[in-house]
């Protein structure tokens, strides 16, 4: 059961948001040379990835629209 | 139609048994051939995709050149495995059976899907095509192209039913234990993505695997599941699939214009389905099959 819970967390949207979308967003910010008012690209990347992951976790969708 | 024995009148004059025998005789001509092209396709496609990673990471190739190649590689990774799923390369007991299984397992690595799960759920699809509860691919049906696209994107959201149908099918046939393959594939997939992302190669990981996989999934679902089964209401042997004329031609539609032949005779290699279809067409029309744009009479 513990393994099942671990796997469930590992494949959760919030982990994917922080583990992949976060650093991906940071690299895109850097590549596009976007001027940031505060913080580093990774900080903003993790904020974007974390928020997207949270939305996907709560709503069950990465694109806001819920599957019927 | 050059063969006078295959005119509509001549075929209608045959007894049901004679028509069955003729159909099987024609189909039999196209079976029992080792599709070496599919074997070469599987292995070369995998090699090209794997080679993109060092080429991009060591700056020998631009990621923007590698990205469309990766999309092509992932999109092309499924069909050789599909040949293996039907034991077309070599059936059990054949000396080349190992090659059949090797192609089955290796070719779908870029697709990040396990061969055993794909094979078993695909057999369920063949056994129960268009059945709302028993066909694992049933949820792909949609009223038109755009509805398919919307459905395809929504189905793979975290709360979507994309994987549930496959899990349910594996449980129904008592092979849930094989879902461990899916777990391992997913672990490797996100393990690679996360590792690449946190070592400064997130864009490369996204454009070599993550995004190509999403694009290929949509493309494969469209041509292998939606188009040949649309509208997905008939379940009988001669009605569960259709043939169609694709606007993008046979290669870009992945040979699925003749998918009807595949469902009737799954042991015919993909490369032989066009010829088999055209020879079987007069019989298929008599059977009430939907031959789409290939029909001679409106």
pLDDT in tens, B9-47: 899 999 999 999 999 999 999 998 899 999 999 999 999
Hey, what are A66's tokens?
């819920």
Q: Is the pLDDT of residue B164 over 90?
A: no
Q: B35: helix, coil or strand?
A: coil
The token duo for B18 is 């004679």
Q: Indicate whether B273 and B224 sit together in one domain.
A: no
Summarize the confidence of residues A35-53 as an average pLDDT: 97
Q: Which of A3, A4, A12, A23 to mutate to probe the B interface, most B CBs <10 Å?
A: A23
Judgement on whether residues B12 and B107 belong to the same structural domain of the protein: no
- Strongest mean pLDDT among A53-67, B52-66, B277-291: B52-66
Instruction: Report the pLDDT value the prediction gives residue B50, as an integer from 0 to 100.
Output: 98
**pLDDT value for B294:** 83
Tell me the residue range of the domain where B8 lies. Answer: 1-30+247-298
B251 pLDDT higher than 50: yes
Domain identity same for B202 and B65: yes
B6 and B95 part of one domain: no
CB contact under 8 A, A10 and B190: yes
Residue B242 belongs to some domain of the structure = no
Compare B243 and B163 and report the one with higher pLDDT: B243
Whether ipTM > 0.85 holds is: yes
Residue B297 has pLDDT above 60, yes or no: no
- CB-side exposure of B143: number of CA atoms within 13 Å? 0
Q: Which of B214, B235, B256 is the last residue of a domain?
A: B235
Mutate to test the interface with A, among B182, B195, B197, B211 (most CBs of A within 10 A): B197
CB–CB contact B200 A19 (8 Å): no
Q: Which two three-digit tokens encode residue B171? A: 């449980």
Q: Flag whether B69 is in a domain.
A: yes
The residue count for chain B: 298
- Residue range B68-77: average pLDDT? 98
Interatomic CA distance for residues B75 and B26, integer angstroms:
31
Residues B57 and B205 grouped into a single domain: yes
pLDDT for position A3: 80
Closest partner residue to A61 among B157, B186, B198, by Cβ? B157
Question: Residue B170 in contact with residue B121, Cβ under 8 Å?
Answer: yes
In the predicted structure, residue A43 carries a pLDDT above the cut 90: yes
pLDDT at B136: 94
Q: pLDDT at position B298, please?
A: 45
Asked if B261 and B166 sit in the same domain, the reply is no
Contact residues for B18 (Cβ-Cβ < 8 A; gap 6+): none
Do B88 and B190 fall within a single domain?
yes
Rounded to whole angstroms, the Cα distance separating A1 from B30 reads: 50
HSE-up of B136 (CA within 13 Å, CB side)?
23
Residue B6's pLDDT band (cuts 50, 70, 90): confident
DSSP string, B177-196: GGHHHHHHHHHHHHHHHHHH
- Does residue B216 form part of some domain? yes
B86 in a structural domain = yes
Reference B32, options B85, B74, B94; nearest CA is B94
B40 and B11, same structural domain? Answer: no
Evaluate whether B52 touches B61 at the Cβ level (below 8 Å): yes
d(CA B63, CA B217): 21
The residues, any chain, with a CB within 8 Å of residue B146's CB and separated by 6 or more, are: none
**What letter does residue B86 receive in the DSSP assignment?**
T
Q: Answer yes or no: is B241 within a domain.
A: no
Which whole number is the average pLDDT over A39-58? 97
Is B263 found in the same domain as B229?
Answer: no
Residues of chain B whose beta carbon is less than 8 angstroms from a beta carbon of chain A are 153-155, 157-161, 183, 186-187, 190, 193-194, 197-198, 200, 202-203, 205-206, 210
Q: Is the peptide bond before B94 cis (omega within 30 degrees of 0)?
A: no
Question: A67: Cβ–Cβ under 8 A, 6 or more apart, which residues?
Answer: A60, A61, B154, B155, B157, B159, B160, B161
Residues B15 and B106 in one domain: no
Do B77 and B9 share a domain, yes or no? no
Contact A68 B210 (CB under 8 A): no
Whether residues B74 and B199 share a domain: the answer is yes
């Amino acid at each position: 059961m513990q393994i099942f819970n671990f796997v469930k967390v590992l494949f959760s949207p919030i982990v994917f948001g922080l583990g992949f979308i976060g650093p991906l967003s940071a690299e895109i910010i850097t590549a596009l040379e976007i001027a940031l008012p505060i913080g580093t690209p990774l900080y903003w990347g993790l904020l974007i990835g974390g928020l997207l992951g949270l939305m996907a976790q709560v709503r069950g969708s990465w694109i806001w629209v819920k599957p019927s | 139609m050059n063969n006078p024995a295959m005119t509509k009148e001549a075929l209608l004059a045959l007894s049901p048994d004679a028509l069955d025998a003729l159909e099987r005789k024609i189909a039999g001509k196209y079976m029992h051939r080792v599709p070496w092209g599919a074997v070469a396709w599987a292995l070369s496609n995998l090699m090209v995709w794997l080679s993109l990673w060092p080429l991009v990471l060591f700056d020998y190739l631009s990621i923007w050149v590698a990205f469309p190649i990766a999309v092509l590689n992932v999109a092309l990774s499924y069909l050789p495995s599909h040949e293996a799923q039907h034991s077309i390369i070599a059936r059990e007991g054949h000396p080349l059976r190992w090659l059949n299984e090797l192609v089955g397992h290796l070719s779908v690595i870029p697709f990040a899907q396990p061969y055993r799960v794909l094979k078993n759920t695909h057999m369920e699809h063949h056994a129960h095509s268009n059945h709302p509860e028993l066909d694992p691919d049933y949820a792909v049906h949609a009223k038109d192209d755009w509805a398919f696209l919307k459905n395809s994107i929504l189905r793979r959201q975290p709360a979507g039913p994309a994987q549930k149908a496959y899990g349910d099918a594996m449980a129904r046939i008592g092979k849930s234990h094989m879902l461990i393959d899916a777990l391992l594939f997913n672990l490797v997939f996100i393990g690679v993505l996360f590792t690449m992302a946190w070592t400064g190669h997130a864009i490369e990981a996204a454009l070599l695997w993550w995004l190509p996989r999403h694009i290929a999934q949509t493309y494969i679902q469209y041509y292998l599941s939606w188009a040949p089964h649309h509208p997905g209401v008939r379940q009988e042997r001669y009605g569960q699939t259709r043939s169609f004329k694709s606007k993008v031609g046979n290669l870009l539609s992945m040979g699925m214009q003749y998918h009807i032949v595949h469902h009737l005779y799954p042991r015919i290699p993909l490369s032989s389905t066009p010829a088999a279809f055209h020879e079987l067409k007069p019989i298929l029309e008599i059977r009430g099959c939907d031959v789409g744009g290939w029909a001679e009479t409106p």
